[in-house]
Amino acid sequence: MPRDRLVRILAKLSPGGPDEPDAARLCEVCADVAGMSGAGIMLMTERTPQGSVCSSNPVSALIEELQYTLGEGPCVDAYRLDRPVIEPDLGVPGTPRWFAFTPPAVAAGARAVFGFPLQVGAVRLGALNFYRDRRGPLSDDQYANCLVLAGVAAQSVLNMQAQAPPGALGVELEKGASGHFVVHQAAGMVAVQCGISVAHAMVRLRAHAFSHDLLLTEVARDVVGRILRFDSG
């Protein structure tokens, strides 16, 4: 990381005291420094979205939720491929991809999206996602800033988790993931209903959300509220 670039970014993140910046501020600063319309951080494990750490505005939040629901998008590919994923024209991409993600993302106002993997050493955490409300590539300076921001974001996520008790989620990470606890609860219920693993139950939840044009959290709330069942009984 070029030191002057890193120092400038860390200065923007500094709350003026010894504390780490909270997750919301982290995403806001990432969007500001990169010159983007919005930013979000997605945690990933084994190529599966686990939930959003933060998002800088409602459109970013929807983009994160779409990726969580559909299991595709720039964050997913950046994590899977372990490299930046650049799509400067989401509406008319050079290489068509993300067939489920793209239409609602474009409808929400995203015209370009960029995903950068979060990694500290051999530890892979997820991806930092940017969107812009106009199409076009990143400048060299923006690309360099995004690489540095991804490194800073990865270290910040580790720091947020560092003080948590063993087996527990860090307070800041828990705030961002709280809306997805219902999904894990629903997956457990579907697993019991259908006699399948939780992983397969999650696949069924995602498939139902996609086929009914719903967000995954909406389907999960119906399952937990006993409005929707997945067994034949």
Q: Which tokens in the block code for residue 95?
A: 């290489």
pLDDT in tens, 6-16: 677 777 776 54
Spell out the domains of the chain, with CATH numbers in brackets: 3-162 (3.30.450.40), 178-224 (1.10.10)
pLDDT at 17: 44
Q: Which tokens in the block code for residue 214?
A: 């719903």
Q: Does pLDDT of 41 surpass 70?
A: yes
Please give the helix or strand (H or E) that residue 217 lies within, else none. Answer: helix 216-224
pLDDT at 49: 67
Q: Does pLDDT of 133 surpass 90?
A: yes
The mean pLDDT value of the chain amounts to 83
Q: Which residues of 171-182 are buried (b: 16+ CB within 10 A; e: fewer)?
A: ebbbbbbeebeb
Query: Residues 6 or more apart from 42 whose CB is under 8 A from it?
Result: 49, 50, 51, 52, 53, 64, 67, 68, 75, 76, 79, 126, 127, 129
pLDDT in tens, 46-91: 766 677 888 899 999 999 889 988 889 999 999 999 999 999 999 9
Cα 59 from Cα 216, distance rounded (Å): 17
Cβ neighbour number for residue 187 with a 10 Å cutoff? 24
